[in-house]
Amino acid sequence: MFIFLTIVLLVAGGLAYYFWSKKQARAALLATPLTPHQRDIIARQVPIIRRLPPALRNHLDGRVNLFLDQVSFYGCDGLEVTEEMELSIAAQACLLVINSDLWYDNLTTILIYPNAFKSKQQRRSGYVVSEKEIVRTGESWDRGPVILSWAHSQQGAMNDRDGQNVVLHEFAHQIDDLSGATNGVPVLSAGQTFAEWEEVFLTAYDAHVHAVENGQRTVIDAYGATGHEEFFAVSVELFFERPKALQRDVPEVYGQLSKLFRLNPVEWS
């Protein structure tokens, strides 16, 4: 009995120490500033970061540190991963979570191709499953990894006012997936309700599908009409890169994303 109790106490103590030291390491990473060299790379590669108010900008460093500590980057098709690539992707991913409690808990791997890459897509029709190869610039798998084309990731970051950004898009899917299903309903922030989110996004999605089917121009990319999860992801791209356009045309969606991320990009310079 004594030995059994000793083992239980040792295991409990070991576990407590493990979680305590993990929490300490996380807090230390969050409190560590990036070097001037790293900040300089981010400012050049991800110009949207330069628009952040100073109070928010200060949140970025720690999150980028945490992200780089947690995630491993692998180059594909002979690509050699550089510091620019890691910092550009990390800064864009962390922009989504810069002011909220959301975090990429399940993500440990990012694969980078030099350019657009081929991916197999499965289609199910009744009992028949067919597979076809399609060309992609980014992909987000449930519970990771994220796969990106560097050429498109870099260009998407550099052009920060066109509403198109493959890194923000794929990481929006990662955030969506934190709820257990990538379906356009992420884990909501305090002060949000599922009923309100559903009402806003279902109404906006139906209107968007209708507009796209009728050949009307929409501020949200037509690709958003292919599914609720894609509608969420393309709305996120717009929220950060063309916030005024999103707020003007679909204010309810802007309002929900503003609550989710606790950000108000229309106020950024």
Q: Footprint of Zn ion on this chain (CB under 5 A)?
A: 230, 233
**Residue 63 vs 173, nearer CB to Zn ion:** 173
Tokens of 84: 């620019």
Q: Find the distance separating the first CA and the last CA of the chain, reported in whole Å.
A: 67
**Residue 177 vs 230, nearer CB to Zn ion:** 230
Tokens of 149: 């084309």
- Integer-rounded Cα Rg, in Å, for the chain is 20
**Residue 65 vs 140, nearer CB to Zn ion:** 140
CA distances from 69 to 6, 63, 263 (A): 35, 10, 25
Q: Which residue has the tokens 């709305």?
A: 235
**Residue 160 vs 230, nearer CB to Zn ion:** 230
State the minimum distance, in angstroms, from the CB of residue 173 to Zn ion. Answer: 6
Is residue 156 within 8 Å of residue 148, measured between CB atoms?
no
**Residue 61 vs 170, nearer CB to Zn ion:** 170
Count of beta carbons in the 10 Å neighbourhood of residue 50: 13
Question: How far is 230 from 182, CA to CA, in rounded Å?
Answer: 9
Taking CB positions, which residue lies at the least distance from Zn ion?
233
Q: Which residues make beta-bridge pairs with 112?
A: 75, 148
State the minimum distance, in angstroms, from the CB of residue 28 to Zn ion. Answer: 34
Is residue 70 within 8 Å of residue 104, measured between CB atoms?
yes
State the minimum distance, in angstroms, from the CB of residue 27 to Zn ion. Answer: 33
State the minimum distance, in angstroms, from the CB of residue 169 to Zn ion. Answer: 6
Question: How far is 212 from 209, CA to CA, in rounded Å?
Answer: 5
State the minimum distance, in angstroms, from the CB of residue 186 to Zn ion. Answer: 14
State the minimum distance, in angstroms, from the CB of residue 50 to Zn ion. Answer: 27
**Residue 16 vs 181, nearer CB to Zn ion:** 181
